């Protein structure tokens, strides 16, 4: 992965689209995160593939209908983690290390308070939640059994995002990759044991996810408290675990930065409910093909994990030093790098679309395969504008200007993507509605995010979150 990014960066540098030094800095932060994303998204794809092989299309759909609820954990965690990386990167860049521990502790405390009620709800009424999306008894049963167990992992999955973003904000993407990537591998292995070895079906897939997230959360917590882990190495940040957790000024900063990001992340989570409900109107086979395509989409979308966080870290560090013009250059150049990488990823997936799709089905003659393959081709093209969306959003997160990425995603999903799926289900537009919805999801938000960053208004906004505006606190 690193070699591939170095190659792409070198080509762009020769074309004058990014400076060599910025390309190198971006690669060092982005490649571990992209590799982590591939591992985690491949794990998600493996959940569906193993369930599909062991059971049937109804099981695939049941897991797919439960997944939006699990996504709520990542919407909440990712939103607050945007506040974490903004505060940590700016303080790290300004060498205000005394303020790092407070930002991380307060992020964790706030997140636990928010996610525990969510987890309890998932555990108590999973049947009612899944039945919002389907009236098939088999799909409701599969989805409810999966979600009831998955609820136990909600707080841990969210805390993982806080810990990893804190380290990336302090210029270390290697340790998060190592720990979260190892968790993803452990998840796949546990799934294989539980689903095939013990015959636990969808419950096995859920237990694999829960245990893997507990492992990663414990590793990050211990490493941050000790300042390192045996076999992993020293952490760039050490946090006193008995320090102050409730700090109102930090809470306010985290909420003001994170709330729009939670909204932005929640747009896709919320949008999946009507989207899946409308897709289910096409029938079981199209629904299964769509769920498979979305899992493959997740793998193609992993460059955004790396480039978005690299933009957050590097832009934030430059702002912490007061270098606004350099921060702006980083934002635009990393975006070009991201788009080129997305094009390579989409092309690779399109080239092997049919064999990849066949991995998800127990039978090579399943009719879902013939539907999914062309859907993957379209998704591979539609994913390219996501390079702009994710990277610019990451840059804006570092500045504290997080509202516009939220607005852009909401407009793309609710103004274009969802209506197109509905039109496809109810008019002669047919499956082309699903195809066009992929472009509505990525292109609209990409254009709006780019416009907002180009205006430069984020520069003034960022000044309210820089280290000199925060008081010194005990680490």
Per the structure, the count of domains in the chain is 1
Is 473 a domain residue? no
More confident of the two residues 223 and 102: 223
More confident of the two residues 335 and 109: 335
- Reported in sequence order, the residue ranges of 285-376 that DSSP labels E, i.e. its strands, are none
Q: Which band of pLDDT confidence, cut at 50, 70 and 90, is reported for residue 473?
A: very low
Is 439 a domain residue? yes
pLDDT score for 436 = 96
Asked whether the predicted pLDDT for residue 249 surpasses 80, the reply is no
Is 475 a domain residue? no
pLDDT score for 364 = 56
Whole-structure pTM value: 0.71
| % of the chain surpassing 70 pLDDT | 95
Instruction: Tell me the CA distances in angstroms from 361 to 55, 56, 67, 295, 438, one per residue in order.
Output: 9, 8, 19, 13, 23
How many whole angstroms separate alpha carbon 413 and alpha carbon 232? 40
pLDDT score for 467 = 65
Report which secondary-structure segment, H or E, holds 233.
strand 233-234
Is 48 a domain residue? yes
How many whole angstroms separate alpha carbon 321 and alpha carbon 412? 35
pLDDT score for 471 = 44
How many whole angstroms separate alpha carbon 393 and alpha carbon 412? 14
Q: Which band of pLDDT confidence, cut at 50, 70 and 90, is reported for residue 68?
A: confident
Note the pLDDT tens digit of each residue in 377-415.
999 999 999 999 999 998 998 888 878 888 898 899 999
Asked whether the predicted pLDDT for residue 469 surpasses 60, the reply is no
How many whole angstroms separate alpha carbon 77 and alpha carbon 99? 21
More confident of the two residues 259 and 455: 455
Asked whether the predicted pLDDT for residue 207 surpasses 60, the reply is yes
pLDDT score for 144 = 92
Note the pLDDT tens digit of each residue in 164-188.
888 877 777 788 878 888 888 888 8
Is 322 a domain residue? yes
pLDDT score for 363 = 53
pLDDT score for 369 = 82
Is 474 a domain residue? no
Note the pLDDT tens digit of each residue in 423-434.
999 999 999 999
How many whole angstroms separate alpha carbon 444 and alpha carbon 465? 29
104: Cβ contacts below 8 Å, ≥ 6 apart? 84, 88, 162, 163, 166, 224, 237, 239
pLDDT score for 397 = 83
Minimum mean pLDDT range among 144-153, 158-167, 350-359, 385-394: 158-167
Asked whether the predicted pLDDT for residue 97 surpasses 50, the reply is yes
Asked whether the predicted pLDDT for residue 253 surpasses 80, the reply is no
Q: Which band of pLDDT confidence, cut at 50, 70 and 90, is reported for residue 466?
A: low
Cα 273 to the chain's mean position, in Å? 18
Instruction: Tell me the CA distances in angstroms from 234 to 28, 102, 163, 331, one per residue in order.
Output: 17, 20, 14, 29
pLDDT score for 98 = 65
Q: What is the mean pLDDT of the chain?
A: 85
Question: Can you list the alpha helix ranges (DSSP code H) found in 2-151?
Answer: 2-14, 20-54, 57-93, 100-124, 126-130, 137-150
β-partners of residue 234 are 228
Is 32 a domain residue? yes
Is 12 a domain residue? yes
Instruction: Tell me the CA distances in angstroms from 59 to 192, 269, 332, 361, one per residue in order.
Output: 16, 20, 43, 11
Asked whether the predicted pLDDT for residue 465 surpasses 60, the reply is yes
Tokens of 204: 């096995």
Note the pLDDT tens digit of each residue in 121-133.
999 999 999 888 8
* 256: containing domain: 2-464
pLDDT score for 468 = 57
Asked whether the predicted pLDDT for residue 472 surpasses 60, the reply is no
Q: Hey, is 228 helix, strand or coil? A: strand
Note the pLDDT tens digit of each residue in 266-281.
777 788 888 988 998 9
């Amino acid at each position: 992965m690193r070699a591939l990014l170095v190659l792409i960066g070198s080509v762009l540098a020769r074309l004058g689209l990014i400076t060599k030094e910025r390309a190198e800095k971006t690669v060092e932060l982005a490649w571990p995160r992209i590799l982590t994303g591939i591992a985690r998204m491949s794990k998600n794809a493996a959940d569906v593939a193993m369930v599909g092989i062991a059971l049937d299309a109804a099981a695939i759909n049941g897991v797919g209908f439960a997944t939006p609820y699990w996504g709520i954990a990542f919407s909440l965690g990712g939103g607050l983690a945007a506040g974490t990386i903004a505060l940590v990167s700016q303080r790290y860049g300004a060498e205000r290390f005394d303020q790092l521990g407070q930002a991380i502790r307060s992020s964790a405390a706030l997140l636990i308070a928010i996610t525990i009620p969510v987890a309890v709800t998932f555990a108590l009424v999973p049947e009612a939640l899944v039945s919002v999306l389907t009236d098939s008894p088999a799909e409701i049963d599969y989805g409810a059994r999966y979600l009831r167990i998955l609820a136990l992992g909600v707080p841990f999955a969210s805390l993982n995002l806080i810990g990893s973003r804190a380290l990336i904000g302090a210029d270390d993407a290697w340790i998060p990759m190592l720990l979260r990537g190892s968790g993803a591998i452990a998840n796949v292995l546990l799934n294989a044991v539980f689903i095939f070895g013990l015959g636990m079906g969808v419950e096995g897939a859920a237990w694999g996810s829960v245990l893997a997230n507990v492992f990663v959360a414990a590793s990050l917590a211990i490493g941050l408290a000790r300042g390192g882990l045996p076999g992993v190495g020293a952490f760039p940040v050490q946090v006193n675990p008995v320090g102050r957790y409730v700090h109102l000024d930090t809470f306010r900063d985290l909420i003001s930065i994170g709330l729009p990001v939670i909204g932005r992340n929640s747009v896709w989570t919320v949008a999946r409910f009507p989207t899946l409900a409308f897709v289910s109107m096409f029938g079981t086979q199209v629904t299964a093909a769509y769920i498979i395509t979305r899992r493959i989409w997740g793998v193609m979308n992993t460059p955004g994990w790396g480039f978005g966080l690299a933009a957050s870290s590097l832009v934030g560090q430059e702002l912490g030093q007061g270098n606004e013009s350099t921060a702006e250059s980083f934002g635009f150049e990393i975006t070009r790098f991201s788009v080129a990488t997305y094009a390579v990823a989409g092309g690779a997936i399109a080239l092997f679309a049919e064999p990849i799709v066949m991995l998800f089905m127990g039978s090579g003659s399943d009719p879902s395969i013939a539907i999914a393959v062309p859907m993957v081709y379209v998704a591979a093209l539609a994913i390219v504008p996501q390079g702009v969306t994710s990277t610019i959003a990451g840059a804006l997160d570092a500045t504290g200007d997080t509202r516009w990425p939220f607005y852009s995603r909401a407009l793309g999903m609710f103004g274009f993507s969802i209506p197109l799926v509905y039109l496809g289900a109810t008019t002669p537009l047919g499956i082309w509605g699903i195809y066009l919805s992929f472009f509505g999801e990525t292109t609209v938000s990409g254009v709006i995010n780019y416009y907002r960053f180009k205006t430069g208004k984020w520069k003034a906004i960022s000044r309210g979150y820089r280290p000199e505006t925060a008081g010194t606190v005990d680490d």
